[in-house]
Amino acid sequence: MKILMILTSHAQLGTTGQKTGFWLEEFAAPYYVFKDAGADITLASPQGGQPPLDPKSDAPDAQTKATDRFRQDPETQAALANTAVLSSITAEGYDAVFYPGGHGPLWDLADDPHSIALIEACAAAGKPVAAVCHAPAVLRHAKATDGSPLVKNCSVTGFTNSEEAAVGLTDVVPFLVEDMLKANGGNYSKTDDWQPYVLCDRNLITGQNPASSEAAAQAVLQQLRVA
């Protein structure tokens, strides 16, 4: 079982002067779900190397068992510091792709042609495509084989407008994940803010927020077992 995890390379939170990047929990929890299941995991990002960590995800109140495990795991830290360059990766040879969130993907992965091509290839081949929190942004320009938006008529979720408002970034982000998924014809739904919520529609798996990251990874494994 070979799983590709793709992280953002974008470190700037719009024009605020603040830092952003990937959200630690949304990487660590799925990573260890996959690792503990015996998966061979490849990490990639648009620029390769060390992806930027959203400093807010490093705060004490954002820590979980998975993030604590990561901090005691020099092998995984080294793997994260040496992600492959995304343009060197193709869908061939991988059984599934997983996108951790954080605000970074809104600026780079949402429009990255290599990411879009990889998502479209995986989807066309019936391989699980999973994204959590802000990472469903990567589906913004992805198309189905008939040329329609990949999320059209699919049950999807992602970071809610109310969650974005709660963190005070509604007017900072380039677009709102909830609005984008709806505009692309997705059957968007959500649960209460900050509560776990994962949807699976055929091979498309989406999670609403950081609390959904582990369950989204488990959903990927379940799809691979069924396949």
pLDDT (tens digit, 9 = 90+) per residue, 1-37?
Answer: 999 999 999 999 999 999 999 999 999 999 999 999 9
Mean pLDDT score across all residues of the chain: 97
The structural domains of the chain, with segments of one domain joined by +, span 2-226
pTM for this one?
Answer: 0.97
pLDDT band at 58 (very low <50, low <70, confident <90, very high): very high
Provide the b/e sequence for 45-77 (b: ≥16 CB within 10 Å): bbbbeebbbbebbeeeeebbebbeebeebeebe
Residues 41-58 have a mean pLDDT of 97
CB atoms within 10 A of CB 113: 10
Please say if the pLDDT value at position 136 is more than 80.
Answer: yes
Residues 202-225 have a mean pLDDT of 96
pLDDT band at 128 (very low <50, low <70, confident <90, very high): very high
Kindly compute the dihedral angle of the four CA atoms of residues 12, 44, 23, 215, in this order, to the nearest 10 degrees. Answer: 150
Residues 62-83 have a mean pLDDT of 97
Provide the b/e sequence for 95-110 (b: ≥16 CB within 10 Å): bbbbbbbbbbbbbbbb
Rounded Cα–Cα distance for residues 45 and 72 (Å)? 23
Please say if the pLDDT value at position 226 is more than 80.
Answer: no
Q: What are the pLDDT digits (tens) for 169-206?
A: 999 999 999 999 999 999 999 999 999 999 999 899 99
Q: What are the pLDDT digits (tens) for 74-126?
A: 999 999 999 999 999 999 989 999 999 999 999 999 999 999 999 999 999 99
CA distances from 28 to 70, 92, 163 (A): 6, 24, 21
Dmax (CA) for the chain in angstroms is 46
pLDDT the model gives residue 227: 61
Please check whether residue 19 is in contact with residue 56, taking contact to mean a CB–CB distance below 8 angstroms: no
202: phi then psi, degrees, rounded to nearest 5: 55, -120
Closest among 94, 103, 218 to 158, alpha carbons compared: 103
- Fold of the 2-226 domain: Rossmann fold (3.40.50)
